[in-house]
Amino acid sequence: MRSKDLISILDLSVAEIEEIFSTARRLKEKQKKGEECLPLKGKSLAMIFAKSSTRTRVSFEVGMLQLGGHALFMSTQDMQLKRGETIHDTAKTLSRYVDGIMMRTYSHKDVLEMAEHATIPVINGLTDLLHPCQALTDIFTIIEKKGAAAGLKIVYLGDGDNVANSLAVIAGKLGLFLVLCIPPGYEPDKGIIKEANILAAGSGAKIEITNDPQAAAIAADILYTDVWTSMGKEQEREERLRVFKPYQLNSKLLAKANPDCLIMHCLPAHRGEEITDEIMASRQNISFDQAENRLHVQKAILALLLGK
C-alpha cells in the first residue's frame, strides 16, 4: 500500500482492508502495552482542514506522534488557498515538504484534485461525499466487539450522508448486511449506491434502503446513527429536525433489536436529537470505543501508506 492514496474505500482491495485491520490490531496492542512502534520516524503529515474537527485532528495528530512522525495542522483560513492559490500549486509545493497529506473539506473534488497533483499519498479525512476512515473504523470496531461483521444486521439510521455512502461501499466490498434507513429525499448518493451494489453482486453483500425505522430495527445487531445536520447544512436544521424525528435512536427503537444489539455513533452526538441521553449512557453504547479506534485504524493507514 506504500505511496497510494486513500480517497475512497473503492481504492482498497479486500486484502488491503484486512491488512489495515490487522495492522490496527497490532498497533493498538502495542500502544496498550506501552511499547514504542516508530515506523514513521522523521516523517511529516500535512493536515489541511476546511471543516473544523475534534476527532479527526486529534486522532491523526496523536497517531503521527505515536508512530514517531510529526503532523502539521493547516487551516484553509490561514493558508494561501484562501487568497487564491490553486490546489494544484498547493499540492505540488507540499509534496516537496512533507511525506503525506490528510485533507478534511467540503467538496470531494478538492481531495481528488489534491491527489491528482500531489506526488505523495493523500488521505481523505472527510468530504461531503465520503468518509472512508470512519467506515474502516466502524467495521474494525464491529469485528472487535462481535468477533466478525459478516452475518450481522447492521442498521444505519438518519441522513444519507458521507458516512452512509462509505458504509455502503465497505459493506459491498466485504459482503456485509447493511440496512440504510433514510427519510425520503435524503437518500445516499445514487452513484455510490450503484457502485456498492455492483460490489455486492460479487461479494454476496446485502444492501437495503428503507424509510421505515421501526421495521429496520427488528433483529438488528448494530444500530448506528449520525448527526442529522452536517456542517454546511445549518440553514436546513429546523426542517431536518422535523423530518428526522421518527428516526431517533431511543429505547423504543432499541427494544425491537436483538438483546445484544450494540449502539454506534461516529460523534459528535446531538443528544435529544438523533440519539437520547438514555441510549448514550447505556452499556450497549460503544461509540467511545469507536472514537478511540479512529486513532488505531488511522495509525495503520499512516504506517502502511507513509512507511518504508
Rounded Cα distance between 77 and 262, Å, is 39
Q: Which three cell numbers stand for residue 91?
A: 499540492
Mean pLDDT of 88-109: 97
Quote the DSSP letter at residue 3.
T
Q: Which three cell numbers stand for residue 4?
A: 497510494
On the question of pLDDT at 308 being above 80, the answer is no
Rounded Cα distance between 111 and 104, Å, is 8
Cis peptide before 268 (omega within 30 of 0): yes
Model pLDDT, residue 78: 86
**Each residue's pLDDT tens digit, 5-25:** 999 999 999 999 999 999 999
Model pLDDT, residue 126: 97
- Cβ atoms of 192 and 165 within 8 Å: the answer is yes
* Interior angle at CA 101, CA 97 and CA 107, nearest 5: 130
Q: How many CB atoms lie within 10 A of CB 68?
A: 15
With 0-12 / 13-18 / 19 or more C-beta atoms within 10 angstroms meaning exposed / middle / buried, residue 215 is exposed
Domains and CATH numbers, the chain: 9-130+294-306 (3.40.50.1370), 133-290 (3.40.50.1370)
Q: State phi, psi for 227 to the nearest 5 degrees.
A: -60, 150
* Torsion angle, alpha carbons of 251, 255, 258, 259, to 10: 80
Compute the Cα dihedral for 241, 244, 246, 251 and give only its sign.
negative
Mean pLDDT of 115-127: 98
**Each residue's pLDDT tens digit, 191-221:** 999 999 999 999 999 999 999 999 999 999 9
Rounded Cα distance between 162 and 146, Å, is 24
On the question of pLDDT at 159 being above 90, the answer is yes
Q: Lowest-pLDDT range, 159-163, 234-238, 277-281?
A: 234-238
Q: Which three cell numbers stand for residue 227?
A: 448527526
On the question of pLDDT at 2 being above 90, the answer is no
Ordered alpha helix ranges (H), 204-261: 213-216, 237-244, 251-254
Compute the Cα dihedral for 212, 218, 250, 178 and give only its sign.
negative
- Cβ atoms of 282 and 276 within 8 Å: the answer is no
**Each residue's pLDDT tens digit, 260-293:** 999 999 999 999 999 999 999 999 999 999 999 9
Rounded Cα distance between 51 and 144, Å, is 30
Mean pLDDT of 91-106: 97
**Each residue's pLDDT tens digit, 23-82:** 999 999 999 999 999 999 999 999 999 998 999 999 999 999 999 999 999 999 889 887
Q: Which three cell numbers stand for residue 164?
A: 452512509
Average pLDDT of every residue of the chain: 96
Rounded Cα distance between 253 and 272, Å, is 14
Among all residues, which ones are annotated catalytic?
A: 104, 131, 134, 226, 266, 294
